[in-house]
Structure formats: C-alpha cells, structure tokens
Chains A and B, each alone.
Chain A
Amino acid sequence: MCGTYWLQLPPEMPPTVGVVVFPGTNCEHDVVHALGLLGMRAQIKWHGDSELGDCDAVVLPGGFAHGDYLRPGAIARFSKVMSSIVKMAEAGKPVLGICNGFQVLTEAKLLPGALQKNAGLRFICDVEKLEVASNRSVASTLLQLGEIISLPINHFEGNYTCDHVTYDMLVENDQIVFKYVDNPNGSVGSIAAISNPRGNVVGMMPHPERAVEELVGGTDGRKVLSSFIEAVLNG
C-alpha cells in the first residue's frame, strides 16, 4: 500500500473490537450485531490472520472451533491469531471469551481451570439467573455487586472445574465474575464467568449477545457488553 493511502485516513480510527472466527465458530454475527447495537464498531477476524493490530479489544465468540476436536478449544489455541490475543491480554486490553471462547481461553492458559462436560449428562439450552460476584472485570463494571441478571446458556462442556488452590486464588483475587443462582451444570462454586487477576480477560459460559433485544427474551446482556464497551473506550 502506498503512503498516500494512509495519509487519507482519518487521524484517529474509531475504536474497534475484533471478533475472531475459527472454523466452526457460529456466534460471530450475533456478537457484531449486539456490539453495533450498543454503538461499538466490530470487525470479524479470521483466525488465520495473525494480527489484531487495528483492534482495541477482542471477543472470542461461541461455537465449535475446529469441531471441538480433541477437546473444546484445544486446537484453536494453536491458531495464528492466538499470539496476538495473548499480547492484547498482557497489554491489559479487554479480551472476552463467550462459551466456546471461554474454553479457548482456558486451553490457551489465559484463564485458569477447565470446562468439563455438564454434570447430569445433558446439553443445556436455557435461560439462567446469574449473580454478579465481581464488578471489577471488563464484563461487569456497569453492574451492581449481588445484582441478579438473566442470560441464556447453550453448552455441553460448561462445568467449570479447577483444583482447590486455584479456586481459593480465584476467590482471593476477586476473579469470579458471575455465579449461577441455580447451578445448572455442576460448576465448582457455581462459577459461570471468571476473569484474570487484572480483570481485563473474561471468560463466560452464558451468551450476553443473545440477550440484547426485548423481542428475543431480555436485555441483560446489554449491561455486560456495555461494560465491555466502556472498557474499550477507556482503554
């Protein structure tokens, strides 16, 4: 590209969220729609593109990255784009993994623990009540501590698991973001979402992007995504 092209660009690009797509990801358009609805520019990024340099934040949407082969998220961890995501996480930029995206973040060791198959043998597709356990993370700053919100879940491997040491660390560092009111899948400590110690990387099993319009069952997801957008704008 020639220099003049760049000179013609506006001096500052509007903040942009990269929405990463792996083969088998299927919630990317919902995420782009939901973010757009809340006034945030979002761009779909193919996992083979190693750079997210033009993005200020990243969302790993739900689906079945690489067909969930081996384990959910296990192969996605080796995608070119992951090194970029790791860099953003380390730089303190907002990183949000939803459902399968949460599984990818744990496999990539950006978040501790793992998601095992639901207790009770079932794939669960339902709306769950969640309690806000921390409003320090990029997905929860606009929520009140203890506030109850309703978000849809849609998963088979959503049973959050970690050892006692890790769990104590999560509690001590205020890393538990959302807890299920009625634990549907057997998760340790009813955990539905966690963050890294700094709070800029969040993984959550519930789908906030599916709860942004009254017509399709609630708008509580807006509070989650608006928190994320606020973090992007203040980043």
Chain B
Amino acid sequence: MGLRAHRRSYVAGYFTLRYEAVVEVLLKDGVSDPEGMTILDAVVSLGYGSVERVATGKLFRLLLNADDENAAADVVTQIAEQLLSNPVLEDFRVRDLLAAASS
C-alpha cells in the first residue's frame, strides 16, 4: 500500500489521502492521578515550588488513510471513544490532524 512512501495511497479502488492524528487522553477532574501527584512532588523537590499541579495522560499518534479531513477526524474520534479512552474516567481530544507529509 506504500503507507510510508507515498502521500497518496490506493485503497479499495480509489486514491485516498494520508493523515496523521494525535489523540490526547487525560484523566477527568476528580479522578485520582497518583503518577501526576508523585511527579508534582518531584517537581517541587527540584525547586519549582510555583507548580501547583501535574496531570498525566496518554498520547496516541495514528497514521491513517481517508478521503478528506472530516472523514479522518470521524474515524479517529470513533477510535478514541471506543478504545483509547474510558468515558467514565477520561476525556480525549483529537489534538492535531495533519495531512501527512510525503517522504
């Protein structure tokens, strides 16, 4: 399919564009974040007492083929909703959606 080599790839009979999406998943307010709290302690120990809060999260980079930006955004949002985040604990944001550069 030439995912890495071509900006345009041939999928299911027609040409599509390749997009790169970055999905950010962060814990909702009120959900305990022991990792964030531990890092905050370390940040303060390092001498940066001005820092009040550290929140940890996850970042996913997806490379996909789609007809256009909206179609790509739809697919990425569905994946983020169904798998990458748990709606009880986490919020997600599709941070960047770029037409991937050809190489």
Contacts and interface: CB of A to CB of B under 8 A. Distances in A.
Q: How large is the interface on B (under 10, 10 to 19, 20 to 34, 35 or more residues)?
A: 10 to 19
Interface stretch (A11-19, A112-120, A124-132, A144-152): A112-120
B33 interface: yes
A209 interface: no
Interface in A67-122: 70-71, 74, 106-107, 113-114, 116-122
A121 B84 CA distance: 23
B71 interface: no
A116 B83 contact: no
A161 interface: yes
Interface in B1-57: 27, 31-34, 37-38
A118 B34 contact: yes
Nearest to A119: B32
Contacts of A122: 34
Contacts of A70: 83-84
Classify the interface of chain A: helix, strand, loop or mixed.
loop
A90 to B, nearest CB: 20
A114 B87 CA distance: 9
A107 B86 contact: yes
Given A74-B83, A113-B88, A116-B89, A121 B31 contact: no
A70 B58 CA distance: 9
B72 to A, nearest CB: 22
A113 B86 CA distance: 10
Contact of B89 (A114, A118, A186): A114
A162 interface: yes
A159 interface: yes
Contact of A161 (B33, B37, B88): B88
A20 B81 CA distance: 27
A116 B84 contact: no
Interface of A: 70-71, 74, 106-107, 113-114, 116-122, 159, 161-163, 186
A-B pairs with the 6 shortest C-beta distances? A114-B88, A121-B34, A119-B32, A114-B89, A117-B34, A116-B89
Given A118-B34, A121-B38, 17 more contacts: A70-B83, A107-B86, A114-B89, A116-B27, A116-B31, A116-B89, A117-B32, A117-B34, A118-B32, A119-B32, A120-B34, A122-B34, A159-B32, A161-B31, A161-B89, A162-B88, A163-B88
